[in-house]
Structure 1
């Protein structure tokens, strides 16, 4: 009986030692138990098998692929590192989470083991001794450890396996989608890369073509300049030759007239016989220019009544004093630029093309495209006189130095002179082939100059009522013309981007000013006459030194075109009427630009009052606006 009671104690000792110690200690304990005669255990030697003889099967990884194309090594290394990171995450997820150890009932484990083995006598001995120890309180399970629950572990592993399979399926789908997106992105990248290369090639080709064109243009530029200079030289020579020829023809005509008077005293009949061949000889000797002048004179005689005693006016030989100099010396007050809109006069049904101030009185004249010009009293803006007679729109007007006459130019190719006391037309000049853009009076009051779309300018003699000279030289429309104050010098601005200075007595171009890149719309002198201001179709204002005929400064207030420029009486402020309806005021002393906003549409013309207190501007809406 004592042997029976000691057997469970030995089995328990074996189990405890097997759970708490290593494999070697358990084997020694089993040999000791076998020596006592309870159990016989077979000693088995466990040898570590060499892993070198085991053949491992290579499992292909379909998810790993190095992108094809011109990918660099850095991208491939980055992809391998990402897949290694995913593998580590999966390995970390397969580790069983740490759970609170649940103590297993040792006696149940041993009882189940003994029942399974059929060891009923040992089971009885174990139970009796075990419960006796429990009642005495001598059992301590702290050092025995915990017996793992294999079933629970299996369930956890199965659940974890299912979750990992779901995650693996999800990752495979994500990897497939990423692979498709990658292929699509690579195709788009290749397409855009080829498109970029093609654009770069086209760009390089255009740059090379542009460089070639610039070189080609630069090679022609000196030739064009030389040809232009030769053209001006030939024109001057042609004009001088024409004058010499006309002078020779005039001398021949004078000699023939002298011979004619000498023969009259001998015999009237004989003189008549001799005169006829002399007239034929005179007609045969006259040149083309003289012939054209004679035909024009005869045409004017047939159209208008010309007095027999009228003679050509003489140009002043000496430089006349500039009346604006005295005005400039008196006007020493600071220039005014802070104008504000004061009043609006609705004078025309169509756009206003020109506004001029009377040289002595507080009245102005406005010309419009409705074929009318109107005399307006200031400051109320009441219409004092309306003139009509042109058959097309009016482009410009200019006062006689005395202020009692007016010259107007029109799109009907004519220039008309008006008597302001009666309001009727006293003279019409015809000779231009296209619309006349501008007109101006000579300071002596005997000549009127006009510029036209037919690329020419003409000087008209008021007394002899004929064209004294035609100015050739511009190759495009001549948009503006103005006499230098108190002299015989003319200034013209043309659509060929140049300004020209002319001698009105000979019709020769003295100097051409180059610098504008677009059509010159208007040009004017300062009241003192020492400077020129011009504006072009791109809004660029240029100031020129008239004494040196060199540019001073260029100011860009575009891109809207500049339609007209005018100085105030002091010559310190320059106003420009722009195509966007803005009036730009340039303070020449400070260099600042002020803008007057008030026109609802395009501004065509601008002019200052004599004292500089008012500014008048005309627009395409048919109104004249007063600024003060």
Structure 2
């Protein structure tokens, strides 16, 4: 059997030649003489080879009984004979000697001349080796085919799985589409159902607002009747004791004739009840946003607390004012009448009236009992920014873009004084508590203090580097806080007529400031949508209240310092506590 060899192995071709008896007769043999020395040399070579072999066996280490495997023998591959050798062997076998001689002579002649093709000189291909190679290729290809079959089966299983998932998701998608259509139809039915209830809801809402207004008016009427009853009881008691007391100053002020002017000055001997009281500062560091209410359709420009009830008034650039319960935020009352944005608001000390200022150059007085506008002051020639009631309720002041501040008599409903002196818009005004002095802040960068009796400027405070936006005074009446468009808050000593300190709220303008009851905290409404609270003693920021989405326009502490309310350009007011 032939053995397959690599291309690096040498191939030796053996030719089979047969000799006949006739060939032996033609061959002449010669005797070869051998010398004794050659035999001795060959014997010595054999003996030396045997001795070296024995020495090698002795020097080999013992393998512990392990049988040494013999090296594989090198095989000899017998390649098929070429064409000419095949013919020679055939002629020799059949004894055709003359034909063989003629063939050899002619073959070698043609071979020497190069007239024989390669197909006659090359060896005959081994068909068995070729068949074996082809068999091996077939086996390899069958193995590869089996592998491909396995891969195909696996791919088919994966494809079947994908097809099942596709069918499942398609069915699920159809179900979701059906559910979506059903929900859409349900929403349409609900929308139609809701639209049918919308007129009823509007009617109920209107009734609710009317009921809340009536409730508020009833409370005001009840308080007024209660005060009258107490006054009558006091008079009856004094009559029974035979001691008729002289009427108080406030009673005298109320007994002015109808339509006549109120006494000016209204109460020159009034005593500030908060002058000797000390209040604990509110814990503004722990204040957090409690509620946010979308109050108006436009920016909330000012807020004011009712002096006796948990009620809040807001005014807006949407030309309306509204009253809300605190802290629930229920709408109690609303009013319309201004023809432009509403900028300022304040409650009457008794809580029976409301005053508002507007960009239409008017100041309106609203009566809660009658639920309408009782009077409109029209003496200002330009937009009015702010307003404030006197502690007696007989007078109110308003400031305007026409560079003036006016004093209005709520009894005679006319202007009693005009304060002139500022050279730019007067942006804010307030009363010094329980006095007849009015404080104003102007776009000419000054803060002024005016005597309402004479209409003259008492003092002017200089120090702001930009327009003053707002002023307020503490309950004791000895300190003024003012803010400007540079984001600076300044404190002024009224008695010493000097600046107590300056606090920075950042590069953005500050639109409003307000004192707490203790006078040690000042809340500032900043244009960067943050409410900052300052410590007036240490002159630093102690709290930053974040939550508004736009500039904060106004800020107020409630009368008990339990909460803080801020209004913003984002159309909301927010309660912090």
Compute the TM-score of the two structures, normalised by the length of structure 1.
Answer: 0.50
**Would you say the 8 A contact 2:501–2:539 is kept in 1?**
no
1:386 Cα offset (Å): 0.5
Aligned match of 1:572 = 520
Secondary structure of 2:573 counterpart: strand
Q: Is the 8 A contact 2:266 2:394 kept in 1?
A: no
For the residues of structure 2 that align with 1:396 and 1:426, how far apart are their CA atoms? 17
Aligned to 1:615: 564
Is this contact kept in 2: 1:335–1:573, CA < 8 A? no
Matches within 5 A, 1:163-312: 310-312=259-261
Aligned to 1:119: none
Kindly report which structure 2 residues correspond to 1:413-428, keeping only aligned pairs within 5 A, or say none: 413-428=361-376
| Deviations 1:164-214, CA, capped at 9 Å, x for gaps | xxxxxxxxxxxxxxxxxxxxxxxxxxxxxxxxxxxxxxxxxxxxxxxxxxx
Structure 2 residue 491 is matched with structure 1 residue 543: yes
Tell me which residue corresponds to 1:320: 270
8 Å Cα contact 1:352/1:618 also seen in 2? yes
| Distance verdict in 2 for CA 1:614–1:309, change over 3 Å | closer
Could you tell me which residue of structure 2 aligns to residue 526 of structure 1?
Answer: 474
Alpha carbons of structure 1 residues 552 and 590: separation in structure 2 relative to 1, 3 Å: closer
Please tell me the root mean square deviation across aligned C-alpha atoms, in Å: 1.7
Question: CA–CA distance in 2 between the matches of 1:558 and 1:421?
Answer: 44
Indicate which of 581, 590, 600 corresponds to 2:549: 600
| Equivalent-residue separation in structure 2 for 1:373 and 1:475 (angstroms) | 30
Do the aligned residues in 2 keep the contact of 1:459 with 1:467 (CA within 8 Å)? Answer: yes
Instruction: Give the 3 Å change call, closer, same or farther, for CA 334–351 of structure 1 in structure 2.
Output: closer
| Structure 1 residues 561 and 605: alpha-carbon distance in aligned structure 2, compared to 1, 3 A threshold | same
Q: Quote the offset at 1:335 in angstroms.
A: 4.4
* 1:61-80 matches, cutoff 5 A: none
Counterpart of 2:439? 491
Distance 1:309 1:343 in 2: 45
CA distance change for structure 1 residues 446 and 404 in 2, over 3 Å: closer, same or farther?
same
Which residue is 1:502 aligned to? 450
Deviation at 1:552, TM superposition (A): 0.7
- 2:280 aligns to what? 332
* TM-aligned CA deviation for residue 547 of structure 1: 1.1
Partner of 2:575: 626
Matching of residues 442-453 of structure 1 within 5 Å:
442-453=390-401
Structure 1 unmatched ranges of 5 or more: 1-306
Q: Is the 8 A contact 2:436 2:451 kept in 1?
A: yes
Q: Give, in angstroms, the shift of residue 452 of structure 1.
A: 0.2
Q: Is the 8 A contact 1:579 1:603 kept in 2?
A: yes
The alpha carbon displacement at 1:540 in A equals 0.5
Shift of 1:338: 2.2
* Counterpart-to-counterpart distance in 2, 1:422 and 1:332: 39
Question: Partner of 1:516 in structure 2?
Answer: 464
2:303 to 336, 355, 358: 355
Gaps of 5+ in 2: 1-255
Q: Is the helix fraction higher in 1 or 2?
A: 1
Q: Distance in 1 between matches of 2:323 and 2:274?
A: 24
2: distance between equivalents of 1:600 and 1:414? 31
CA-CA distance at 1:447 after TM superposition: 0.8
1:366 matched to which residue of 2?
314
Q: Contact (CA 8 Å) 2:530, 2:548: kept in 1 or not?
A: yes
Mapped contact 2:469–2:483 kept (Cα < 8 A): yes
- Please say if residues 319 and 486 of structure 1, whose CA atoms lie closer than 8 Å, have aligned partners that are also in contact: no
Aligned to 2:62: none
Q: Aligned partners of 1:309, 1:462: CA distance in 2, in Å?
A: 11
